[in-house]
Copies of this chain bind each other. A is one copy, B any other.
């Protein structure tokens, strides 16, 4: 009933009648370099197993300065994109013998800063961060302090910090081209009012594509606040539909997509008859909506895995200043919501 006393290094050492040095060396796979006899090696390994010895990682950490912990700061772990991303990261980290501590910043750089401090205090070996507006200085400071670091999903182009993310420009280009191909002209886009790379690139991809198609006059971009966006999305849609008479709208995040669908439903707007829609990221809702929603799919798994690879490389090679960049390609999954329905137009 009483907690068993843990088996220590010295316990296995004394049970063999040898110093802790030998045991430590053998168990860390450095027997050869230290010319420990094979017999001894095997005896140590067997004894350690028999006694169920497992090293105290705290002590090893204090001594060696390595915790095998990675800190991951997303904006909101309850957002399905980030929870999927986090699982991927957890899995890949585990393969490389690291454990992940997650935390959510809520797109607030003050909170992010506190979380970073907390994670560093916990002795994490490196950080994976989804940066938010206002956090550029924080990231820059980490970089200057030589803390192994990788940005995920978004990045600051002016910093020499590595990152892994989607080709966001390409993402909205794919969507816009598809809509134009369907015969739509008056195509609009709703994005968050943010300076982050992912948002800006998504906007840019759309604008560029519209201009190339000679549709500059139809460029309509609505920006909504990242906190509690629903009301603003409603207003934006109302304006776009009733004043601008747009034929199609591209939602640039999963949350905007979902809130946008709520709004369109409440307004009684039919998709795609009245308006064509393209969403972002994956969702069961897109598939099961009365008019299944075409969406831009991110390669979440690769984004996460590559981020881990970059970070672990940095942790193992501290001092080597290398900016690694991984940009992954989007995929457009075409459903009914973006197809021109030649039959159903009531006019």
Contacts and interface: CB of A to CB of B under 8 A. Distances in A.
Interface of A: 1-4, 54-59, 61-62, 67, 69, 76-80, 83-84, 86-87, 90, 99-104, 117-119, 121-123, 144-147, 258, 261-262, 265, 283-285, 287-290
Contacts of A78: 80, 83-84, 86-87
Contacts of A104: 87, 90
B57 A123 contact: yes
Which residue, A283, A285, A287, has most C-beta atoms of chain B within 10 A? A285
A126 to B, nearest CB: 13
Nearest to A84: B78
Nearest to A86: B77
Contact of A103 (B3, B57, B90, B284): B90
A146 B2 contact: yes
B57 A145 contact: no
Q: What 7 A-B pairs are tightest by C-beta distance, nearest first? A: A83-B83, A290-B290, A3-B146, A285-B285, A78-B83, A58-B123, A78-B87
Contact of A144 (B1, B99, B287): B1
Given A3-B145, A58-B61, A100-B101, 16 more contacts: A1-B144, A1-B146, A2-B146, A3-B146, A3-B147, A58-B62, A77-B77, A77-B90, A79-B83, A80-B83, A90-B104, A99-B103, A262-B284, A285-B285, A285-B288, A289-B289
Copies in the complex: 2
A98 to B, nearest CB: 11
A122 B145 contact: no
A146 B258 CA distance: 46
A99 B80 contact: no
Contacts of A285: 283-285, 288
A101 B103 contact: no
Contact of A4 (B4, B121, B145): B145
A104 B104 CA distance: 18
8 contacts: A3-B145, A77-B77, A77-B90, A80-B80, A261-B288, A262-B287, A288-B289, A289-B289
